[in-house]
Structure 1
Amino acid sequence: MVIYALGSLEEGKSSKYQLAIALLLQQDFFNWITSIEVFDPVLSPTDIIVLKKLGCTVLTVDEDCERRVERPTLFFMPYVPNYLIGNLLEANWSPSNIHQVILLTNKMSKSLEYYQVLLQEGERYSDRISFKERLEYLEGIQKCIHEIKINGNFVDSFLDDLEDVTDNPLVHLNFTYLPIMTQMQYLEAIQKYTEEIGIRSLGESKDNLLYNFAFHFFNVAPEIDMQTLLQVVVPRIDQIGFSHDVGDEEIRLKFDGQFDKLWKKEQEQMVAIIEELIIEAWNDQMAAIENAL
């Protein structure tokens, strides 16, 4: 399992619960999830100590979610910007690689619905994206801009009328400053080859940390040239039917029912362990400082 964008255990409540879910998954699927790797630039020294005590490997290099996998890998990406999901898909954009990716994150179908609304309401779009994120998009996407053409077909896959985009100065500005759009096409192009298993057993409460999350399994026939998927008009969300002949059947069925086992009590117990380790790490660091004085 690889976890991107976990957040700081020391600073955020949600990060503790999300890590608890990852550890419980590893506990129940120890034959499949043999290790957990974590990266987030906001991890503190205390966070790193705690993660290592829990048996996790802390990555020191920012992969920008561009890891190419050769064996089945579960990526847990809680509340990441969509362009990072696009980076992961792009890095594995071949039938043999994409089949090895299992993605636990926000429902991609919902993300695309939301993105289409943002494009249709151009006057609101620029308000939703921070200046900092714009710079990140530019840096993260530079190496593949020459491969991706924002042509009529690409835009038509988001909007029915290209003129609605080009005539809107705010949206036109975002074409210039937000190459995120070149990454969003990966999310859209893969939808018809995706099985999305929603996490229904945890309820629909706003307090649910995995609200609107799903497991995503991908299956593309070996003879398909996936680059061609980026050059055609892909059906809109309401036209997409998910395939059910996807992924490893045993893994899919077990993941589908797994969250029935993740009761609140088990989560709370795991979070309590994490919090104890945080306090222990604080004490160890204070003792080290005192000894150095």
Structure 2
Amino acid sequence: MYKADIILDSITPNGDRLTTFEITYPRMVHSELMTHRTFSRNSSSSRALPNERLIERIKNDPVFPVWWGKNQSGMQAREEIDDIEGAKEWWLRGRDMMIEWAEEGTARFNLHKQIVNRPLEAWMWITVIVTATRYNNYFKLRCHPDAQPEIQQIAYMMRGLYESQEPTLLKWGYWHLPYIREEEWNLYPLEDLIKLSIARCARVSYLTHDGIRDITKDLGLHDSLAENGHWSPFEHQAKCARDTYPPNGPPSSMLSGNFRSINWIQYRKTIHGEDKEILGSL
């Protein structure tokens, strides 16, 4: 089902806001979120979920269109069809046919889940972590009648949260670390907290894929991501900083990445080798 939560909402002393969302919406409109290049994002993967578990999910909670638009020219359907219940039955017949097809692919050919899961995506939900300083363009384009109704729904939910929530004021030098619980700040050094945040953003969860909270596995996942150059989960962590960081180093604007801010240092941009032109250190 549709879901939107603000995981962490921070603001610098001079009013530069950084917000991390966890959102769930239909997989079929995922590309419409991905076009927004100011977003750092990580998502649940069709390739990561065993086929049997995915089939169970789309049987129990399939995605349905939110607007059963009538066929017409153009990209928007302004009118809805009359026989919505009949269309829902047709939609579920398609799901059942694809489930049977996917199960045959596994049983007959022993195909990997990265193949047999793909035809099921029309009925799938996807959960995504999004971190950004700028949401106005996204809200303008997606909270709009011309947007596909399924992306409209999650965009309106996000905008409602964003406009009603008061961000937490951070002091200069403090960190925005999604998925770090309050008690953990007193249990682990900053270096480990950053690693834990990265691993949890990569999993899109506090928990491991087995449904447990495991610090050792989190730290191990961080190390594996770094070793293999999977840098996108390293984008959600940021330091509230003044104009230049480190002293006599690159200007903050070069270290903010897609946050486009002189007040936020994106952790990914502090890693040697992440970008051959921009190098920094903690």
Question: Fold match, TM over 0.5?
Answer: no
Larger fraction in helix: 1
TM-score, normalization by structure 1: 0.22
More strand by share: 2
